[in-house]
Structure 1
Amino acid sequence: MIIGDKDEFAVEYSFSDDYPRDMGYGRIWIKNKFIGTFTDIIFLSGYLLGTLNEFERAKELEDEIRQLTKDRLFDLLASGQYEQSDKYLVKGSTFTDDFSIWTYKFENQTYFLWRVMRTDFFEDLNNYKQDVFLESVPTDTLNKVINKLETEFWDKGILKVR
């Protein structure tokens, strides 16, 4: 199942037949690039939705930092040289463990800065480019996809609290 548009922002998920109803596979699409692996079994309502909620809570980034190139910004945040870098780090979960992801907001856009850190463990990551990626989507688009996913999980009985 895909919610949203892979060309802009989407969530892909499927339920596993071999595990309890709230377990399955998921990944997140941003401008036709995915984050996460579709081969790692996860708790969909916890891990997938939890990662999306981290995106939703992205903070504003200071102007002078935001002006850096994507590679320099990634290096600054990942190195810990910027003392506030933790508030932009996406902790994610097992399906995003092989990625280093940072998010921030600016002018009604949510920005995603990421790089895959390991490509040898999951088959769907084997050919993933190890570049630094920076993409943005309208924050309203992000919120609509999250709300639709929450509604689907609620309707299927796997989301207990909204």
Structure 2
Amino acid sequence: MEGLLEPEISDHALSIVTLHKMNQQVDRKLEEMDEREKRMELEEDVKILNEKMDQFMSHQYHSSSYSIVQSRCYNWKKLIEKFYGAEAPQEVDVQPPEVVSTKGCGSRLPSRVEKSLKLKRKPLRQCKKCQEWGHHDSRNCDKFKEKEKRRSRRNSEV
């Protein structure tokens, strides 16, 4: 009995393998057919799109499509004129200015607080004329300037 079963199993195994191979071949052919059909459908879609684009381009330059946009603008202008209570002039008499100065100062102007903080950070120096410690030296000493002003006034009065 064992000898009789073996050929049946082997025939059965061969038939399963052949069926599997045939099934794979059929799947490949179906995939190829699907790809061909997809390509054909895409080509048809591209043709249709090109036709629609041609129709659109030819229709774009017709006066009917332009009149729709023009009528919307016209209605909008009428609505604005009605809102303001006056009609818009046909010709505009306003001209742009002849000379325009667009040059800025070039840098930001610091505030008083920023200036004082900057001065606070600077080290103090001793003035050799007034012998005080501060943010001035002998060239720009305030006390010396006051003395000079007094002297010049005295000299001018005499």
Alignment TM-score > 0.5, same fold = no
Shorter-chain TM-score bucket reads: under 0.3
**Larger proportion of helix:** 2
After TM superposition, the score normalised by the length of structure 2 is: 0.17
TM-score by length of 1: 0.16
Q: Quick one: higher RCO (CA 8 Å, sep 6+), 1 or 2?
A: 1
Bigger CA radius of gyration: 2
